[in-house]
Structure formats: C-alpha cells, structure tokens
Chain A
Amino acid sequence: MPCFPDKFAENIKSKQNKLYSLFKREPKNEDESYLKQEIVHHWNPFPELPPSEIPLFAIDGSNACLATQGGRYISIVQAILQGKDWREVEVDVEAFRDTQKVDVERFHQVHRQWLEWKIGSDNGEKIANSFLFIDGSLYISPVLYSWAQVAQRMPEGLEDMPLRALDAFLSLVEASREYGIKLIGISKTSKGHFYPRLLLGKETDITDLEIFSFWTEGSGFSTPLLVGPHTIPQPWERVKSDFLRALPSPKKEEVSSRLDNLLPSLSVVLFYIRFEEGDEIYRVDTLAPSVGITTKKEELEKITICEPKIIYPILSVLLSSHGGFNVYQTLLYVAHNEVILRGIDQDVYLTLLRELTNLPIRRSKVDTRFGRRF
C-alpha cells in the first residue's frame, strides 16, 4: 500500500496552527469578544416540560442523479411522509441533457425539495392538527435568493422546477394554516447571521452556528427570534423579481401574488438547540403562526427576540421525540432510513426504466468509474 498516511501526517503537521484556529474558534476582534460574552445570556437550559400528546409526522426525501452515456442525466427523487405506523410515498423521475449552462447539483436539490413539500401539501388533510417535521430550513427568502441565482441554469424543459418548488412550499404553508399543522424545520447546517445582527446591529462574518457551537456549552436552546421574510441583506422585492424573471412559466404571476398574500405567514421563529453535551447544534424553524405570532407589516424586515415560553410546545415535542446521539428526532430518523435511495435501488430503477421504455440506457463511467454497475 502506498504510504499515504505518512504523507497525510506530514501535511497535517504543516497546517497545525490553521487547523487549531479553525476548530477552536476564538474571537478575532472586539465585536466577536462581545458576542462571546453576550451569547451565553441567550443560551437557556431545558425547562421541565410535560410530554406532548399531539400527533407527529415527518417528511424526508432522497435523490439520486444518474449520469448515463451520451451526457444524459436521470434525476430520481423519492419522498416520504412518515407518521406512526402510517406513511405516504412519492417518486418522481426527470431526465435531461447535460450542457454547459446546467447546474446539475442545484437542479437536483430543487427537484427533491419540490417533492418533499409537495407530499406534505398533498396530504395536509390527513395530518391535520399535528406537528410536521421537515428536514431543513423553513425560511424561504435565502432559498429564493439562491434559486434566483440558478434559475437560469435549470435543464432544458425543466426551467420551471424552482417555480414548482415554490408553489409546493406555498401550498404547504396554506395547508398548515388550513389544517392546523405546525411545521417544524430542523437543519443540521445554517449559514444565518441572525444573532450577530441582533446583538451587534450590523453584518458580520461569524455565523449563528459557529457562535453556539464554539461559545456555548451543554444541552439547551437559544432564545427564539422572530425573523421576517425581508430580513436577508438583499432587498426582498429584488430577490423576488429576479427569481420570477428567470422563470419562463406563465404561472409566475399567480405565484407572485400568492407570495405577497402569504408574506406575514412566511415569518419564521427560529432557535438553536443542543440536545445533549457533545452533540452538535441544530437549527429549528417554525412558521410564526405556529407559535401564535401574527407578524405585523413593520416586522417583516426586523429580527425580534421572542419570549422562550412560546416555543415550549415545540421543545416538548423535540425533547420527547429525541432518541439520542444518533437519532436527534425519531420520526425524521425513520423517514430518512425508509426513503434513502441506495445503490441497489438505483439499479432497480434503472432496470425498470430500461424495460419500460425499451431504451438502451447505460450508466456513464462518470458515476461508476471502473465499477461494473449496470
């Protein structure tokens, strides 16, 4: 075996200081020192809470993008809506040409997000008066912002995928309002800067995730914040118009008006949580109406500190459905394991595709390298 580990060790040695500062994040300036000092006041121990009796559901999705010969991609997405001993599943397949303009990865992400939101909105009535866990953020503005950047890079014939996704999200928000569904998004990553902005009153480089990961200890949760849909640095109207302009769909006028109507509902109450010592930080989002907040117009651009008690029902659900280090939320864990697209599933799908279409579709070496998967 080549002596890669020796080379690895040499390389690490030469980068020791850099790694140390990266993994032991210390304040770099006065602002950050202040943040480190202040953030502990926004980190709260878990209160004693009765277990929640409200039904729980979880949505998760999985996708595989198969590169096939001739520069064709097949995007397979499957989504699951998992309850206790009940589930609904959906699958969608899209095939497209790979060209220079196409951002395959991003299309893939939007495709999956669309199906996840769709399965939730399609089954709203069946899951009325429940908590619905979603893997990921509920804060739509950054999503729209990033989609606006890539809307032009969707594959030919699938340019409207971001619009479809937004449509599905808005339907889910409407369904949650209509059927009393409390949406809870749990993200393992977050690039938000809400707490520094709130505490320093200006934009900084450090993220919420870094602050809570490196400068707080033990289990607990952060003081919740109400974040309006306009809170991102870019002007909301520009983000929206950029996004819609990039889309060819005739539906965009309708979506635009729905977006405006739903704006107050798109405010999010968010907080960070660490379930146990040594675990990582998760971001939890819920739509403001889910915790009884109706956003006023002037709050759409603001960040407001909320009373921790408003999220106690959510905390109760999160804590009672927390399994442990590997299982931060039991239903999401189950949904994830049920929905995940394994290599063998991809082979089954590809075989079915070949048989149903009678087309000689073969995988490209882009995916398989020297392997023999068919």
Chain B
Amino acid sequence: MEVVKTPEPVGYIVGNVETQRFSFVTEPNICPPRLEYLVVRDIPASEQGLERVDVLAQVSRLQVASQILGEELTYEEARAILEGLSPRPKIIGTADVLGYLTPEGGVRLPRHAPLPGQPVYLASDDFLRNFFSKDVGYGITVGNLINREGVEVKLNPNGLRRHLAIIAQTGAGKSYLAGLLLENLLKLGATILVFDPNSDYVMMRLTPEGKKTSFSDSVKVYRVPLKAERRYSDEKIGGSEEYTIRFWTLEDEDIFEIAQIHESWVNIRSNLSKLLNSLRKRSPYFTPQHLKEFVEGMTESAEVGGELDELGEVVSENELEEMTLNMQRKAKAGKETKSSFSYEELRRVKPYVDRLASLEIWGDKDLPIDNIISPKTLSVIDLAGLQQRAMEIVVDRTLREIWEKAVLGHLPRPLFVFLEEAHNFVPGKGKPSRCAEIINRIAAEGRKFKVFLVVITQRPYKINQDTLSQCGSQIIMKLTNPEDQNAVRTASENISESLLADLPGLNTGEAVVLGELTRVPVMIKVGKRESAEGGADVDIIRELQLASREGEISQPIIQVKPQGDDLMGGGVL
C-alpha cells in the first residue's frame, strides 16, 4: 500500500513540535489546503522507539505572511510595490496529529514527537481508506473525506449503541444527511422509526426523478387525516397509512394545550375540566364531537348547572336525554335553578370546544407498533399538521408502547428511533414536554433494550443537556451560534476546541463525525442520497418569479376608448 500520494514532501516540520501538533513550512505551489491529510513517516511509536510508524495528521491552520506587504501600507504603496514585483509569501501550516493505526485496528497517538526538519507528505487515498475504514466491512457509508473525493468513510454501526446526535444549524444539510443514514441503515437491514414534524422524510420511497427507490417497499409513511392540503400530498409521496389520536385517552392538560387555552385562563380550564369529567362519567369513550354537542345542549338550557350537579354517578343515555329535555323545558318556562355553569361561562368555553371538534386528527386508529418493529422497515410518522402538544402525545404514546415491549423482551431486533427537531420534544431549561420523560429514559437505558436514539436538532442549546450528553456519537455540521457551540462543547467529550472552531466554517453538506462511529474524529463531505428530500429549502427567487407572473396574469386590463373630439387627452387613465 502506498502511504504517500506524491514522493516529494509538501513541507518540512519547523519550530516547536508537540506529540499532538506540529508546524510546517511550505510553498504556495505545493501548499496542502486546510483539512488535508498529511503523513509523517518513521515516527517511533513505542516508548523504546523500536517500532516506527507512519503517523497521520490533518492540516488545521495555514498562515500566510509577507515580509514586504505589511499592514502599514496604503493602497497606493502596495500597488507601487506590486508593479512588476511578486513578493513571495511565507506559508506556515499547523497540523494536528491524528495518530497511527495499530495492527489490531485501533488508533493510537505516538509517544514521540516528529523532529523539526522532517518532511511531511500528502497521505495517499489508500492510506486514508485503510486508516478510516479498515475492518469496517459492515459500515454505514455517509460520504467521503473532505478534500478527498476518492476516500469513502464508513461509520461503524456499533457506534450507534450509545445513541447519536445530528446537530446543525438550519440549511446545513442535517435532514439530507439523516436521510442518507436512514437509507444506508435500511439497506443493512435495520428497523427504523422516524418522528418527522416537517415531512422531511416522507419522500423516501421515491428518487428525485420520481422513480421508486431500491428500498421503496420497506418504507411506510403514517399520517393523521387532514382536510387541508399538505405540502406533500399522499399521491406525491406514493401513499400513506392513516393514524389518529384517541381523544378520550388524553389528560386535561393535553386537551388544554391542543385547544390552545392559555395556562393563565384558569376559569376556562376549570370549566372545561368539569365538562370533561361529566362526559367521562357518562362513558369512557368520547370524542370532541360529543363534547361539542354536550356543551351546546347545556348552553341552551337555563338550568344547566343545577341538573349537572345532581349527576353523581354514571347514567344511561336515556336518563341523560330525559334530563336534558327536562332542563330545556325548565329553561323555556323561565324557571331559575342552581347551576355550576353560567351562560357566560359556557359561552367562553365553547370556542375552544369547537376548535377541538374541528381537528381531523381524532379517531381510534392507533399506530401499528408490530408493523413498525418488523424487520427491515422504515416507518415515518409524519407529524406535520399537528399542534406541538399533539405531536408530543404521538411521540410519547408510541415510544411508551415500544419501550414496554423492549423492557419485557418483546422487541425482537434493534430499533433505531430518529427524532427530528428533538429540541421541541426534549427541551432543556425546565420547559415541559409530554414526551421528554420517555425519551430521556430511552437515552439513559435504551442501549440495554436495543432501542437506539438518533436525535436531530438545529438548536443544541435548547435541547435537554442530559439527552444530548447521553449521545456517545455526534455528527455536527455548520454551527455558528455561540450558545449552540457551547452546548456542544458541554455535551460532547470528544470535541476539541480546534474542531469547535471549525464548525462555523463548514460548508453545506460537510460534517464532523465524532465518537464511537469512527476511530478518530473525521470531517466528511456527505454523499449522495438515492431518495428525494422532503423539506428542502424553498427557492425564493423562483417562487417570487412565479408569483410575479401570476400577478401579471390576474391584473385586469382596462382599455378606454377615446371619447368625442378630445383626441389629444382622451384614452388615458
């Protein structure tokens, strides 16, 4: 195996050298770019210095200086100097030592530092392939090394045992990368569940050209029924299966949240609670439509409160009907009775009840957990169209059911759970979330029961730090917000300050992989996906052009006929 790409060195080590870092001097025509991989040959590996190894390093910094073109120069002075003269800059590179590969497949740092004067070479593709992917035969291919298109990087699936966090700011390509991971995990036979709040993964059955993907039959998309038009219609995504939410299983707090009753509106909440309790006494199974009719009936009754107070235990439908008719008769007669609800109170509750009833998400079609955990299946739960609380309920219920199976040993195979926008489901800083508890339990104990989390977030600062720190591996893409960087620094034991400093400079589709997925932290360029991407950025220019054209077409054309002899001034509006 060739170790070096070119026989000529690209620089020589200079200055003070550390075992983990060195500087080298180079020239403009051979200067390796930042993040390029270098080899320093024949470094003593052991303390005795008997074994000599080729050590891999990565260029972390380049400094270019000119003794002649100093900062004190004005524009005119610089121009005068440069007329016919090309001052040669001095380039000093800094490289971080990544280590050497042991025969057992581990990576170690040498115990000896290279010496000043030693040449540094470009590492060959073979050397890099061996270093990053040796013995990772059953690996997840996610792309190639930055600066080296020819060197694929395979991630070790065992690295997912301690969960994975995919972190990137909006637009950096995290959903695209997650989609690629999903594809390749699926191809390896994995069972995967995706909670998808933005319909980012609903197109996975199709290629960008609209053809079926090679794994199309293994992908199932589950959606709640919605009357409103979706971003990606069922037809466009190749069909979906319906799931609904059982209204009667919700707690009052859930219902308040879904109905959007602010927590400070205690009277409305209290009255709705009473109404719900009344309904629960009638039957364990009820829908928002039942609630609506119930409230409407009582609003019509003048004596609604008194009669309801008499309801001490579960009554039959016939009895309730008779009571209602009685109440209506009394109301018509204009008789006053003791009531728990005034007309005003019911009038104020009603809009929220109407809102609940207008949602199409209710029903009794549960997600088919047994199908979801079947082998080589990718189940995408499309949460788009649901309110945040409803999403949390879906996530909570699904994960609890799975967890129950897992704990009882009824989960036959590993399940990978991808959680998009994870900061909304396990928020930090004491913010409540219905599903945070089960997610954190899986984060803490899931690896024992074959449930592995992949949390995807654009705001690591806002996610629960315990959840984030439970992720033994991270794939981090462009991240510029200092608060988010701090969160990553706190949560990850693998990230160095120099890698953190690199994050803002990453381009779209470039990522740093850390933790157990790779032998050493590696910077990759994400590879091409087979499937189409949902949730891709909107092309604003194209949309504006279309809108502009539509605007022109819809503009009425007014033609005014000249009147009389006023030929000069007529016809202009």
Contacts and interface: CB of A to CB of B under 8 A. Distances in A.
Interface string B76-119: 11101101111100000000000000000000000000000000
B237 to A, nearest CB: 63
A326 B68 contact: no
Interface string A330-341: 110110011010
B74 interface: yes
Given A85-B86, A334-B87, A323 B81 contact: yes
Contact of A324 (B68, B80, B83, B85): B80
Given A337-B67, A338-B68, A325 B74 contact: yes
Contacts of A85: 84-86
A163 B80 CA distance: 38
B72 interface: yes
B569 interface: no
Nearest to A333: B81
A84 interface: yes
A337 B87 CA distance: 11
A322 interface: yes
Contacts of A327: 73, 77, 80-81
A337 B77 contact: no
B74 A84 contact: no
A334 B66 CA distance: 11
Chain B binding surface, main DSSP class: loop
A321 B74 CA distance: 15
B7 interface: no
Interface string B49-88: 0000000000000000001101011101110110111110
A330 B68 CA distance: 10
Contacts of A340: 67
A333 B70 CA distance: 11
B370 to A, nearest CB: 73
Nearest to B78: A323
A334 B74 CA distance: 15
A327 B77 CA distance: 6
A321 B79 CA distance: 11
A63 B278 CA distance: 100
B15 to A, nearest CB: 10
Interface residues of B, number: 16
B82 to A, nearest CB: 9
B76 A337 contact: no
Contacts of A330: 80-81, 83, 85
A145 B573 CA distance: 97
Contact of B80 (A84, A323, A337, A338): A323
Nearest to B81: A330
B397 to A, nearest CB: 68
Contacts of A338: 67-68
A347 to B, nearest CB: 12
B86 A323 contact: no
A300 B552 CA distance: 92
Contacts of B67: 337-338, 340
Contacts of B68: 333-334, 337-338
B303 to A, nearest CB: 88
A323 B78 CA distance: 7
A330 B81 CA distance: 5
Nearest to A335: B68
Interface in A319-364: 321-327, 330-331, 333-334, 337-338, 340
A367 B10 CA distance: 37
A373 to B, nearest CB: 15
Contacts of A324: 73-74, 76-77, 80
Nearest to A55: B84
Contacts of A321: 80
Contacts of B76: 323-324
A84 B81 CA distance: 10
Contacts of B85: 84-85, 330-331, 334
Contacts of A334: 68, 81, 85, 87
Interface string A298-333: 000000000000000000000001111111001101
Contacts of B73: 323-324, 326-327
Contacts of B74: 324-326
Contacts of B80: 321-324, 327, 330
Contacts of A333: 68, 81
Contacts of B81: 323, 327, 330, 333-334
Highest count of chain B CB atoms <10 Å: which of A322, A324, A325, A331: A324
A340 B70 CA distance: 14
21 contacts: A84-B84, A84-B85, A85-B85, A323-B80, A323-B81, A324-B74, A324-B76, A324-B80, A325-B77, A327-B77, A327-B80, A327-B81, A331-B85, A333-B68, A333-B81, A334-B87, A337-B67, A337-B68, A337-B70, A338-B68, A340-B67
Interface of B: 67-68, 70, 72-74, 76-78, 80-81, 83-87
Given A323-B78, A327-B77, 10 more contacts: A323-B77, A323-B80, A325-B74, A330-B80, A330-B81, A333-B68, A334-B87, A337-B67, A337-B70, A338-B68
Interface of A: 84-85, 321-327, 330-331, 333-334, 337-338, 340
